[in-house]
């Protein structure tokens, strides 16, 4: 069985339990997926990931650590959607960094909505109609999003 067939046959991930077992009182760390355009990876690595780690939040989006897809576009497409499946909260940044718009982030965003993931949109540029979907939390800044995550 090739990799694509194996991914398509993986079980659908349900929301992770917030506790390790019935006896434990220690909450498992929150897993967040970060969606942005590719040019923002340095911003995410240098500013966003450290702020989340300070709050014991795991960033499960590994695309931010890659330079390019380098001919592995199918691998990264599959991997990113698997990571969206595994997140507890999906964060998408409305503004773009650089001149190349993010297109993949909208696929990931739609996938997160279809999976009923809590979604936080960060930024003032709310020009995507789906940013106004009922389950979406809209905030102006990263700090506002971090405040929401602390409440979960």
Q: Provide the residue ranges of all domains of the chain, joining segments of one domain with +.
A: 28-151
Order the strands of the 89-93 sheet from edge to edge: 57-59, 30-35, 89-93, 119-122, 136-139
pLDDT of residue 52: 94
Q: Tens place of pLDDT for every residue, the chain, 152 residues?
A: 444 444 333 333 234 344 334 444 556 789 999 999 888 899 999 999 999 999 999 999 999 998 777 778 899 899 999 999 999 999 999 887 777 777 889 999 999 999 999 999 999 888 888 888 988 999 999 999 999 888 65
CA distances from 50 to 59, 130, 145 (A): 10, 28, 14
* CATH no. of 28-151: 3.40.50.450
Q: For the whole model, what pTM was predicted?
A: 0.79
């Amino acid at each position: 069985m090739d990799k694509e067939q194996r991914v398509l046959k993986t079980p659908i991930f349900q929301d992770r339990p917030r506790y390790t077992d019935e006896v434990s009182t220690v909450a498992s760390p929150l897993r967040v997926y970060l969606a942005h355009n590719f040019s923002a990876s340095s911003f995410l690595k240098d500013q966003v990931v450290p702020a989340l780690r300070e709050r014991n939040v795991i960033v499960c989006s590994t695309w931010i650590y890659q330079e390019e897809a380098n001919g592995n576009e199918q691998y990264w497409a599959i991997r990113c959607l698997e990571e969206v499946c595994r997140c507890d909260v999906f964060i998408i940044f409305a503004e773009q960094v650089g001149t190349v718009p993010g297109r993949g982030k909208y696929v990931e965003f739609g996938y997160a909505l279809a999976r009923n993931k809590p979604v936080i949109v960060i930024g003032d540029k709310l020009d995507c109609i789906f940013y106004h979907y009922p389950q979406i939390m809209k905030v102006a800044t990263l700090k506002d999003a971090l405040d929401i995550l602390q409440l979960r």
